[in-house]
Chains A and B, each alone.
Chain A
Amino acid sequence: MMNKNLPGWRELPEGAVVRDPGNTETIDVSGWRVFKPVIIDDKCTRCRLCWIYCPDGAIIEVIDEKAKMGKRYEVDYVHCKGCGICYAECPVNAIEWVPEER
């Protein structure tokens, strides 16, 4: 069905280009996930591999003086698509792979 609230063909940019860079930040992709990564902070050695490998920048490095080595890692569940790369790469099994329940 046609969505009448969206712009018509005359108003859209030629070649389907996107003119506002970085707009993927506004898109919630949490619905893509079947499993989600859960970081077990006690096991985490702060090696940063999950942060490096995440293709969507969905591992967030949080500066926290109270945390081990002054920082910890959190998952941005709005932008995590559940690809499992962090889970596969973590060398100390500090990421669990938990089924999504909706």
Chain B
Amino acid sequence: MPRLALTTNYAVAHAAKDSDVDVIAAYPITPSTPAAEKLAEFAANGEIDAEYIHVESEHSAASALVGASAVGARTFTVTASQGLIYMSEVLYIASGLRLPIVLGVASRALSAPLSIWGDMHDIAVLRDAGIVTYFVSSAQEAYDTVIQAFKVAEDPRVHLPAIVDYDGFVLSHVTEPVETLEKEEVLKFIPKKITWNTLNPKNPISMGTVGEPDWYYEFKYQQQVAMENALKVAEEVDEEFGKVFGRKYGVVEPFMMEDAEVALLAYGAHAGTARVAVERARKEGIKVGLVRLKLWRPFPVPHLKKLFDGISVVGVLDRAMSLGAPRQGPVALDLMAMYASDPSSAPKMASYTIGIGQRDVRVEDILYIINQLAEFAKGKEIPERTIPIGLRE
């Protein structure tokens, strides 16, 4: 198990290498470019026995992987921002065709105005595509999660694409120590076994068929069922990964939740900052906890309900804005919908947007939120809108 100093970009490239991917098709885009370059380097040096397809766009990258996955290859790509939404048309198709493509996404803002900086507007666009979607909070977790993502995506109960999303720059370009694994041990964990429907001359099938009104709905519903299965599978895979390699994360990660009265729900790199803020607020006597959302799709409803049981107020820190929605934060919307059929069991919920377009997020910003949550717990009215943090009036 070599211990390497890796950025998260390099960590996901190493994870793809150690997962023995067969086909990579990537088009470079900031801030994911170093991951695409590292994979090209691995392929050029013969460190990886993979076909690296040089494509003219992200749309083509995703299309090439659909073709490769449709003949049974283990496939991987990295992208971000405009690149991800340019892929989105094809990624819906990959999900509908039930192809287990895995992607690393170094999340970045969407134009206009043009921003190469980090936030999660890009991944928010893919929310409804039928893709298993992870948020990670460190280079090590990104490495481990790419390997887990292959196992989840290729599981016969799932057969869906998977995305490992990591914050652009804050994670993608920050070097951390990463315990990597040997290919042989990774392949024991994720053996190459084609379980999904593939094009094979010995057993010919047609893919990419037309779903007339009598048929389409049933196939969409199958995708939903696969998504529901993915929650259990993701948990099992994480558990098994923990047993084999000694590291596990859970689909949600609670911190100081045991006696918490108010709580934060955060994801990605912000969860790290929130952790420090929670520790500080505890010293000031505020009984606050933190839940880090690791798996966004499928949304871990039972886990969150259990953790928030008895919590007075939950503040959701979102890094994307769903413009015109009842609340802008996509995860806040999920949390609110989660309690819709049983509102009496719900905590009060406050939606925050933070770190938009890489607006700096300080521990003090999150302390401000925690103090506000404490006031909401005491009865102060929660505004019926998303509260922007770090926005100039």
Closest to B199 in A: A17
Given contacts A9-B218, A15-B219, A17-B206, 17 further A-B contacts (CB under 8 A): A3-B214, A6-B215, A9-B219, A9-B225, A12-B215, A12-B218, A12-B222, A14-B159, A14-B197, A15-B96, A15-B196, A16-B96, A16-B97, A16-B211, A16-B215, A18-B209, A21-B205
Residue on A with the closest CB to B205? A17
Q: List 7 A-B contacts (CB under 8 A).
A: A9-B221, A14-B159, A14-B196, A16-B209, A16-B215, A17-B205, A18-B206
Question: What is the chain B residue whose CB lies nearest that of A21?
Answer: B204
Chain B positions within 8 Å of A, measured between CB atoms, are 96-99, 159, 196-197, 204-207, 209, 211, 214-215, 218-219, 221-222, 225
**In the bound complex, what is the Cα–Cα distance between A17 and B222 (angstroms)?**
13
Check A13 for interface membership: any CB of B closer than 8 A: yes
Task: Return the chain B residue nearest A13 by Cβ.
Answer: B197
Which residue of chain A has its CB nearest to the CB of B214?
A: A3
Chain A hits for B197, CB < 8 A: 13-15, 17
C-alpha spacing A19/B225, complex, angstroms: 22
A-chain residues with CB within 8 Å of residue B225 when the two chains form the complex: 9
Interface residues in A1-55 by Cβ distance below 8 A to B read 3, 6-9, 12-19, 21
- Least CB separation from A7: chain B residue: B218
Complex formed: what's the CA distance from A37 to B99 in Å?
41
CA distance A14 to B197 in the complex (A): 7
A interface list, Cβ under 8 A from B: 3, 6-9, 12-19, 21
B206 nearest in chain A by CB position: A18
A16 touches B205 (CB 8 A): no
Looking at the assembled complex, report how far the CB atom of A70 sits from the nearest CB atom of chain B, in whole angstroms. 35
Q: Considering only CB atoms, which chain B residue lies closest to A24 in the complex?
A: B206
What DSSP secondary structure best describes chain B's contact surface? loop
Contact A9 B222 (CB under 8 A): yes
| Cβ contacts under 8 Å, B205 to chain A | 17-19, 21
Interchain CB contact under 8 A, B209 and A17: yes
- Among A9, A12, A21: residue with most chain B CB under 10 A: A9
**Cα separation A14 to B214 with both chains bound (whole Å):** 16
Nearest neighbor of A18 in chain B, beta-carbon distance? B206
B156 closest partner in A (C-beta): A14
> Which residue from A6, A8, A12, A17 sits with its C-beta under 8 Å from B207?
A17
| CB of A21 to closest CB in B, whole Å | 5
Bound state CA distance, A9 and B226, in angstroms?
A: 12
Q: Do B97 and A15 touch across chains, with their CB atoms under 8 A apart?
A: yes
User: Shortest beta-carbon distance, B225 to chain A, in Å?
Assistant: 8
In the complex formed, the residue of A with least CB distance to B218 is A9
Contacts of B98 in A (CB 8 A): 14-15
Partner of B222, one of A6, A14, A21: A14
Q: Which 3 A-B pairs have the closest CB atoms?
A: A9-B218, A15-B98, A18-B206
Q: Contact at A16–B219, with CB atoms within 8 Å?
A: yes
Complex CA–CA separation, A3 to B213 (angstroms):
10
**Bound CA span A16–B222, Å:** 10
A16 to B206, CA, bound (A): 9
C-alpha gap A4/B221 in the complex (Å): 16
- Whole-angstrom distance between the Cβ of A32 and the nearest chain B Cβ: 13
Q: How far is the CA of A96 from the CA of B97 in the complex (A)?
A: 42
Residue of B nearest to A11 (CB): B218
Q: Which residues of A contact B99 (CB under 8 A)?
A: 15
